[in-house]
Amino acid sequence: MRILVIGSGGREHALVWKIAQSKLVDKIFSAPGNAGIAKLAECLEIKADDIHALLDFARREKIDLTVVGPEAPLARGIVNEFSRYKLRIFGPAKEAARLESSKVFAKELMAKYNVPTANFGVFDEPEEAKRYIQKIGAPCVVKADGLAAGKGVIVSKTIDEARQAVKSIMEDRIFGDSGKQVVVEECLEGKEASIIVLTDSKEVICLPSSQDHKRAFDGDTGPNTGGMGAYSPAPIVTPKLFKEILEKIIYRILDGLVRQGIVYKGVLYAGIMLTEDGPKVLEFNVRFGDPETQAILPRLKSDLLEVMLATTEGKLSRYKNLNWDGRACVCVVCASQGYPGEYEKGKEIFGLDEVEKMQDVVVFHAATKKQDKRILTNGGRVLGVTGLGNTLKEAIKRTYQAVEKIHFAGMHYRKDIGYKAINKG
């Protein structure tokens, strides 16, 4: 089969790496890919959200399955476009992708179908949003309705901060039209976990739990990032809790979508806060998590491509379960100096060959490019160094041994990825 994977981050490298292990694969393309992906796939000079160019390519090259990594093309309806030409594509259609592309839609659906989430209000007038903030007090959370490259959520410690967030989003329009409406919600307390499932709208297959590390620095301090590391499984999600999350969150939201006449096919990600009152949804994403995917897929023994095909064909019931490696997996992100603020690109990366010789370690590239024989940094999150171990402790040790062999000017990474789970956090 000829496969096209859309995207250029660590998540997409992990997807390509896993798909490449399938017996069904003849050739993989990636648009646009990166230097790591280029070892396994032919990289194309097509941007991930250039739907027309992607469609032309898939038709011309007779692609058997397209896998969409990031949310932007899904929100813009790439699945609807491909489906019109009977091209097989993995991911939800535009209407279903609203679960991520409109926080207002997601929150209203959750309220309607009794999916536990933070209490909230929806506003299209800044003054009304500010009055609501005054009423509920701080801390509270202000969220731009639309996509904002992961930056549209502002957790505010004071009323002033929250009012300022409303001003930036709605009046100054720092996220453009994504800020026409806002959701203001109560601030939840607890530990976070990510639950990711595959669904064809009838069946649900769960991937193991995982946990991201959103803040830039050790001890969950510093600014929010796209994710500085992840591990799987997350022991905090006990089997009992997993069942509760499935029943009260995953099944209810999918059932709600069906009742709205929306078919959801693809991967569904629930960001969960484990509160004293039980698990509550922070957000839904309509794609694989990044960097959670990097910590989950090395544990998958089954053929990912087969199960993705079954998802697109509505035949997921063939797979009651997937086969998982019982070991733990950890992914540590190596980032550029300054990230998530401003950073420079083009620094040469050393040590990758050395790490390639290590067992049970794989380096997923998140933003790299090749120049002559050198691999250079090409973005904020550069690499996701990933290791397996019999225990989480072992996986952490192995992963950091690998991280220490790699360097580039200004490289920074968190030194405490996974420690929360060892300390039962």
In the complex, the residues that contact ligand GLY under the rule CB under 6 A are: 212, 227, 285, 289-290, 292
Rounded to the nearest whole angstrom, what is the least distance from the CB of residue 353 to ligand AMP in the complex? 35
**Neighbour order of strands in the sheet with 89-90:** 42-43, 27-32, 2-7, 65-68, 89-90
CB atoms within 10 A of CB 345: 14
Rounded to the nearest whole angstrom, what is the least distance from the CB of residue 269 to ligand GLY in the complex? 7
Any idea what DSSP says for residue 135?
H
Q: Which stretch binds ligand AMP (CB under 6 A): 54-62, 183-191, 365-373, 412-420?
A: 183-191
Q: Which does 141 bind (CB under 5 to 8 A by kind): ligand AMP, ligand GLY, none?
A: ligand AMP
Q: Which does 153 bind (CB under 5 to 8 A by kind): ligand AMP, ligand GLY, none?
A: ligand AMP
- Which of 100, 185, 290, 360 binds ligand AMP (CB under 6 A)? It is 185
Both structure tokens of 259: 């009742």
Instruction: Considering only residues 108 through 137, tell me which ones interact with ligand AMP, judged by CB under 6 A.
Output: 118
Is-cis flag, bond preceding 233, omega within 30?
yes
Any idea what DSSP says for residue 9?
S
- Which of 89, 188, 305, 332 binds ligand AMP (CB under 6 A)? It is 188
214 binds ligand AMP (CB under 6 A): yes
Q: Which does 109 bind (CB under 5 to 8 A by kind): ligand AMP, ligand GLY, none?
A: none
Closer CB to ligand AMP, 107 or 130, in the complex: 107
Any idea what DSSP says for residue 178?
G
334 binds ligand AMP (CB under 6 A): no
Tell me the DSSP string of 204-215. EEEPPPBEE--E
Closer CB to ligand AMP, 43 or 153, in the complex: 153
Q: Map tokens 């023994």 to a residue.
A: 301
Rounded to the nearest whole angstrom, what is the least distance from the CB of residue 224 to ligand AMP in the complex? 6
Q: Distance (Å, rounded) from C-alpha 388 to C-alpha 391?
A: 8
Q: Distance (Å, rounded) from C-alpha 16 to C-alpha 4?
A: 9
Nearest to 228 by CA among 422, 418, 420, 413: 413
Give me the residue whose beta carbon is nearest to ligand AMP: 283
- 3-class DSSP state of 291: coil
The phi and psi torsions of 409 (rounded to 5 degrees) equal -55, 125
Q: Which does 349 bind (CB under 5 to 8 A by kind): ligand AMP, ligand GLY, none?
A: none
- 3-class DSSP state of 117: strand
Evaluate whether 330 touches 266 at the Cβ level (below 8 Å): no
Rounded to the nearest whole angstrom, what is the least distance from the CB of residue 48 to ligand GLY in the complex? 15
Rounded to the nearest whole angstrom, what is the least distance from the CB of residue 2 to ligand GLY in the complex? 27
Nearest to 126 by CA among 205, 178, 180, 56: 180
Rounded to the nearest whole angstrom, what is the least distance from the CB of residue 353 to ligand GLY in the complex? 29
Instruction: Considering only residues 270 through 309, tell me which ones interact with ligand AMP, judged by CB under 6 A.
Output: 271, 282-283
Evaluate whether 39 touches 14 at the Cβ level (below 8 Å): no
Rounded to the nearest whole angstrom, what is the least distance from the CB of residue 217 to ligand AMP in the complex? 15
Rounded to the nearest whole angstrom, what is the least distance from the CB of residue 271 to ligand AMP in the complex? 5
Q: Distance (Å, rounded) from C-alpha 413 to C-alpha 380?
A: 11
Closer CB to ligand GLY, 185 or 290, in the complex: 290
Total number of residues shown for the chain? 425
Residues that bind ligand AMP (CB under 6 A): 118, 141, 150, 153, 155, 185, 187-188, 192, 214, 271, 282-283
